[in-house]
Structure 1
Amino acid sequence: MDKLAERRCKPCEGGVPALDLAAATKLKEQLARRWKWARDGKAIEAAFEFDNYWQTTAFVNAVAWIAHTADHHPDISFGYNKCSVSYWTHAVDGLTENDFICAAKIDALLD
């Protein structure tokens, strides 16, 4: 199987089911351990820590670029040296492959 980070997101306007737990778990296993289940298994989220505000905002900007190019947008919150990123596909109120692709691209930023 190709790496998640090398895949491209597919447009999702709803009308398709969210991934079931088995399929989501299989994809989550390909991510860094920092990614945790959220929203009762309907989302994944990760927390990140940095040395200073500059590094944090640079990371947030990189995540925003990933979101823009993938046309798949997370919820992001951040402060001086901490950032939280949460992914789920709003159109299906659950997880799709797109969420895991974008999470893997974020993991690749830190490798």
Structure 2
Amino acid sequence: MLTELALEHCRPLRGSEHALDPAQALALLTDLPGWQIAEAGLLQKEFTFASYAATLLFVNTVAGLAERENHHPDLEVGYGRVKISYSTHDVAGLSRNDFICAAKIEALARI
């Protein structure tokens, strides 16, 4: 399922009818190792790196992916770590787009 999600593309979503219910979100989460749904309802994962340069390379790659998909995460960057958080503001919760982007990032991190 990770590969299938990673091959999808985000589409514009507006309105709460596009928000995933908890069961749908949990079903998609099972295919994203290390990702979790935080108490605030955010899809999150922290990645670690051996150097600041590697961290910034990853951040810039994620930023490029976000621009291509027109779906942007919140990024918390520190030395050797990046915390990625997704939610879809236009649906007031998690959408399939969040999981598509997480799958793309997960595939990228495995390279």
Verify same fold: TM over 0.5: yes
Q: Percent identity?
A: 45
Note the 1:27-66 alignment, pairs <5 A: 27-32=28-33, 34-40=34-40, 42-66=41-65
Map of 1:3 onto structure 2: 4
**Deviation at 1:16?**
2.7
CA distance in 2, matches of 1:28, 1:80: 27
CA distance in 2, matches of 1:65, 1:71: 10
CA distance in 2, matches of 1:92, 1:48: 26
CA distance in 2, matches of 1:92, 1:110: 27
- Secondary structure of 2:17's partner? coil
- Secondary structure of 2:58's partner? helix
Map of 1:19 onto structure 2: 20
Q: CA RMSD in A?
A: 1.4
- Secondary structure of 1:4's partner? helix
CA distance in 2, matches of 1:26, 1:67: 23
Tell whether the 8 Å contact from 1:14 to 1:92 is kept in structure 2 after alignment.
yes
Q: Which amino acid aligns with 1:56?
A: T
Shift >3 Å, 4+ stretches: none
Tell whether the 8 Å contact from 2:55 to 2:79 is kept in structure 1 after alignment.
yes
TM-score, normalised on structure 2? 0.91
**Deviation at 1:15?**
4.9
List runs of 5+ in structure 2 lacking aligned partners.
none
TM-score, normalised on structure 1? 0.91
